[in-house]
Amino acid sequence: MLATISHNNQSYKIDFSLPLDISISLRGDDKNPMAWYLKHPEITPVHDANFIGKVSKGSSVNFNNIWFNPHAHATHTECVGHISNEFHSIQQHLKSYFFKAKLISVEPEKKGGDYVITKRMIAKKLDKLDAEAVVIRCLPNYIGKISKNHSHSNWPYLEEEVAIYLRENGVKHLLIDQPSVDKEKDEGKLLAHRAFWNYPKNTRFDATITELIYVPNKIEDGDYFINLQPASFENDAAPCKPVLYKILN
């Protein structure tokens, strides 16, 4: 379905019949991605004395319980409630779901024992930025990301000045294919999170961070529109299925 979208006094054509899903599906086994030292999610049928929620076991329906942590197991979108003393829910702070987006691929550079994403490499990719959302794909990019155990891996992360640069350039929604925009073991500093949300001095409550995405190599860098619609959880973060739409004109 073709549609015309208006953004900053310009019109863009997109085709809603050609979605580009950049989420990772949740599954109840160790092929699910994992982080933060948790075991894999579990999806199991409900049991009681006279019932098992599985058609192949004689039930009329499949009826599963699901155990998971959105930060550790799923593509998820989070608000400032992730780091604030006060409770803030993603459902209360994200009120619109469709944005102009820029997809970029970057190869983190080695600094000491870390791999970091620097302001220099981001600024080079985002010259003349006209987007509310930035999607970062880290190179090398490989299909194993959808089932990787990230715990104790010291994944690539954003330097604090990157988050400041994005904030100062009006980016409200940041997406990345890592478990966190910050270093895995940073003594709780969370510098990129704090800088992006500008917490606590002038907090951007309507800004979000989405982590654990996967952008297939067939999706080219460039301008898109993105549908960012987390599930209806009253929590600091919720599972999300971000979908890109290519701009046709």
The answer to whether residue 51 scores a pLDDT higher than 90 is yes
| Between 9 and 42, residue with greater pLDDT | 42
* 188 CB-near residues (< 8 Å, 6+ apart): none
Instruction: Determine, yes or no, domain membership for 62.
Output: no
**Alpha carbon of 194 to those of 81, 197, 205: distances in Å?**
11, 5, 12
Instruction: Determine, yes or no, domain membership for 57.
Output: no
Report helix, strand or coil for 95.
Answer: coil
Instruction: Determine, yes or no, domain membership for 228.
Output: yes
H helix or E strand, kind and range, residue 71 = helix 70-73
Instruction: Determine, yes or no, domain membership for 189.
Output: yes
* The token pair that represents 27 in the structure block: 């599954």
- Rg (Cα) of the chain, in Å, rounded? 19
Do residues 138 and 116 lie in contact, with contact meaning Cβ atoms separated by under 8 Å? no
Distance between CA atoms of 12 and 170, rounded to whole angstroms? 20
Distance between CA atoms of 209 and 237, rounded to whole angstroms? 9
Instruction: Determine, yes or no, domain membership for 63.
Output: no
Range of the domain at 231: 2-25+70-246
Instruction: Determine, yes or no, domain membership for 84.
Output: yes
Number of domains in the chain: 1
Q: What's the CATH number where 10 sits? A: 3.50.30.50
Mean pLDDT of the chain: 97
Mean local confidence (pLDDT), 37-62? 96
Query: Residues 187-217: pLDDT tens digits?
Result: 999 999 999 999 999 999 999 999 999 999 9
Instruction: Determine, yes or no, domain membership for 171.
Output: yes
Instruction: Determine, yes or no, domain membership for 166.
Output: yes
If one counts every other C-beta atom within 10 angstroms of the C-beta of residue 25, the result is: 12
Residues of the chain with pLDDT > 90, as a percent, come to: 94
Q: How much is the pTM?
A: 0.97
